[in-house]
Structures are given as structure tokens and as C-alpha cells.
Amino acid sequence: MERKSLIKKSIFVVIVILLLIRLTSLAFKESANVTDKLVKHFEVSQEDIISSGKEIIIKSFDDITNVTWLSVDKLVIEGDIDGKFDSYLFDMTSYELMLYDEADYVPENFEDYEIVKEIPGYGLLATKDKSIGLINDLAYTEILEDISYNDKLNYKLSDDMSKLLVYHAEKNTLVTYNFEKSFYRTIKAPVDEELLEHFQKRAQISPLGGYVSVEYHTDLIEESYFRIYGADSGKLYAEDVFGVNMSWAPDDTYVCYFYSKELQALDKPVFEDMNYIGRRIGYYDVEHKTIDYIDVVEDEKIISQIYWSDHTATTLVGEVTENIEIQSVLAYDFDTESYSDWQLDLEPYPLDTSVDLLNDFEAMLLEIQTSTNTQMIRLIKETGQVQLYEDVKAFDTKEDQNLYFYQVNDRFIMADQVQITVSNGMSQGFILLDDKSYMVLPNDDLSRVGVWFTHLNEIKILNVE
């Protein structure tokens, strides 16, 4: 009996040992399977790409000859990496640098097209000959065949890129196109030669694409008027309202204009394209479909265009005689229905002066350019203090030189000796300037801003959002 008991115990021990060996083997195999990973092989080394929060630094190149935004999140860089000169693509969604094959993004006869802008989700808006259309999946789909007048293509894109306003040459009409719905709407607005000659100034589609406004200028500027139509419905919202120089609020809620009955025509344009100055600004309230007026300026005139920041409309007040006298900055806040009027004590400027205004968080910034000088003036909102803003330095983009600020809606770029400052309307970001030789590269909607250091052959990219 004792021998049988010993045999049973031995068998049990052997079985336990075998089970332990089997379990250990399975566990090891499972562990081995878990840790077995595929290694991605990059066609271009990623070692010299540094990511630090919202900033990307690309140090991969021995030489860079050109940098261009292909879309809001793709950057094409022409340059030399380890002796191989080629076109490279940096993708902001994957943070990967790769070889760029143009055939993957545009048709073979790319030189026949003029790219206007990327419409996210729908392709590249482009023109070809007299037509306008979308490039998607390497194919060009025409929106309208002929949008030309006297060899100029007449079209407007809404700021949010949802709608397109075009001139339909075959039918001599205005047409809106909704990208999301692939929907056309004929706007039954009168179209004459005067409108077509000045299409870029007279015909507008509102920032969010809800409305179309059209100005009709007459020989007597006092008789000039405008109309407003629904961009999708074609419905007439405002008819033959006396006003010119229309300016839409960023969210389509209001449109301001110069009341034409109280305009003074000028012999020579001031501030580049102002042919008149006025005493009253009218506004159309889209939600309530009403017209009202901002208070009359009693002794002075409104002498500049209307600048928007959220629901605040701002303009310059002064006199135009042999010179331009800028006397104050007048702002009206539609939310609080209140005025702010900051007095300026500036020397007169010649008639060929150009001016631009930026409404920042704490201050107004005026860029005043004469033929010989650029003056930057900072107006502190809270105190009304006026100061020369000498810390601001001019910078270059690929399209423009000597810019003191670059603005898209409420986002803007400025520079000083040390850094590039980018504001998204709520907060600010910074790109340190590692070298004095650089070019600023904003994408279309200012969601990302690149700086190309031309001597260092390096690129910094700031994610603004």
C-alpha cells in the first residue's frame, strides 16, 4: 500500500511539473508575441526634426532654396539633404518629412492651373483659362466655364471658405456656389459694366458665406446705393440703400457702410483708394433686418475704411485738405452700444499716405506709410496714451516685403528684434529669432506660421491653434 501511495505521489508531481513547464512555455510565447513590433522605415531621416510643444524645428537641410505651403498642414521644401537635392514634403498631421511627388497632389498638366486656395475636404480651388473649379484626386472638376470680363476672372471666396461668388459670363449674372452641397444659386442682381470693372471692390460675399452685397456707384456719389441678397436663397434682404464702401462684421451679423448722402468726393484718392470722406456710418443689422446709423461726427470727417474686430467697428476721423490730418480713432461696440473716441495729436501727412489699423487686446496699432517713411503708433486703449512703437520691426513674406503686421481675420503676426509674435485672437505664441536673415511663412488661415532662416537653412513652425 505504501508503494502504491508513493507511485501516485510521484505521478502527481510529474504531472504538476509538466503543467508548469507548459504554462511557462505559453507565457513566454505570449510575451514574445506582444513585444514583436513592426519597425517603420522612413524614406527621409527624421533625426533632425525637433518637436517641443507647439513648435517644430526642421534642421534636416544643408541648403534650402524654396518653401511653400501646399495646404494648411503640408509644407513643400526644396533643398539639399546629405547631397540629395529634391522636393520634400513635411506633413504637420504626422510630423513626418518625406520625398514630395507632385503627381500625388496635382494633375500632370499642373502648369495650366492657377491654384487659388485649398478648400478643406473638397480639394484645391483653381482657375484654368477662363474657368474656375476644384482639383481633387488628380482631376479638375469645373464649377463654371467662363467667369471672365475683359480678360479678368471675377470671383470672391468667403472667409470661412464655404461659399464662392462668381460672375457667370454666359448668362451675365452673379452666382454663388456652396461647396458642401455642390449647390448653385443665381443672384438676381443687376450686372453692368461699371460693376464688372470694379468687381473686387463692389461685389462681396460675407465672411461666413451667408450673404452677397453689391454696390452700385453713380456719377453723383450721393446717389450711390447697395443691395443685399441671401447667398443660398437669392432672397433680397436690403434694396437700394444709400451707401458705399461696405464692410462686413466677421460673423455676418452686421455690415457697415458710408451713408452716401453725406459724402464728400475727393479730387485725388487718399489712403490709396478712398475717393470720398463722410460724416455718417450706417449699418444693417442682419438678424433684425433693420438699418440704423452710428452718430454723426459733427466737426470732422470719417477718412478711412472701416476696420473690424469681433463686433467692434473702428475708423479714423480727421480732415483732408492739402494734407491728411488724423485727429482721432473712433470705435463703436455693437454689443454694448457704446463709443470709444481716442484723440491723436499727429502732424499732417501727405495725400499719398497709406494707413492700416490693427485692433489688439490692449492697444490699437496704426501703421502710417509715406513715400519716405513708415511710422508705427501704439494707442493704449485704457489710458489713451499715444506712443511711437519703435520696437516693431518689418519682416518679409514670399508675397510682400517690409510688413509691420500680417493679419487674417482676428489673427495676426508681428515682429521685433528678438521674436515673432503670433496672436490667435485669444492668446499669443512666439517664435524666437535665431538669426536676422529670415522669411515669415504664414499658411492661408494663419493656423500655422513658419519662419525660414535663410542663412541657417532651418525652419521653425508654430501651431497657432
Question: What's the rounded Cα separation, in Å, for the pair 292 and 281?
Answer: 9
Total residues found in the chain within this entry: 465
pLDDT at 297: 67
pLDDT at 35: 47
Residue 237 phi/psi, 5-degree rounding, is -95, -35
The residue type at 277: I
Quick check: helix, strand or coil at residue 219? coil
Question: What's the rounded Cα separation, in Å, for the pair 357 and 241?
Answer: 27
User: Full-prediction pTM beyond 0.85?
Assistant: no
Question: What's the rounded Cα separation, in Å, for the pair 170 and 147?
Answer: 8
Residue indicated by cell numbers 505504501: 2
Strand ranges for 401-456 from DSSP E: 406-408, 411-415, 419-423, 428-432, 438-442, 448-453
For residues 99 and 88, the answer to whether their CB atoms sit within 8 Å is yes
SS3 percent helix, strand, coil of the chain, rounded to 5, is: 10, 50, 40
Question: What's the rounded Cα separation, in Å, for the pair 110 and 188?
Answer: 35
Task: In the chain, count H helices and then E strands.
Answer: 3, 42
pLDDT at 122: 93
pLDDT at 25: 56
C-alpha cell at 23: 504554462
Distances (CA, A) of 229 to 97, 147, 209: 46, 20, 11
Residue 430, Cβ neighbours under 10 Å: how many? 12
Return per-residue pLDDT of the chain as tens, 465 residues: 455 455 555 555 545 455 555 655 554 444 444 444 555 566 788 889 998 878 999 999 999 999 999 888 899 999 999 999 999 999 998 889 999 988 777 666 667 888 898 898 899 999 999 999 999 888 899 999 999 999 999 999 999 999 999 999 999 999 999 999 999 999 999 999 999 999 999 999 999 999 999 999 998 889 999 999 999 999 999 999 999 999 999 999 999 999 999 888 888 778 767 888 888 899 999 888 899 998 766 677 888 889 998 899 999 999 888 899 999 999 999 999 998 889 998 899 998 898 999 888 788 899 999 888 889 999 998 898 998 888 889 999 999 999 999 998 888 999 999 999 998 777 889 999 999 999 999 998 899 999 999 999 999 999 987
For residues 205 and 157, the answer to whether their CB atoms sit within 8 Å is yes
For residues 109 and 103, the answer to whether their CB atoms sit within 8 Å is no
Return the sign of the alpha-carbon dihedral for residues 248, 195, 201, 330: negative
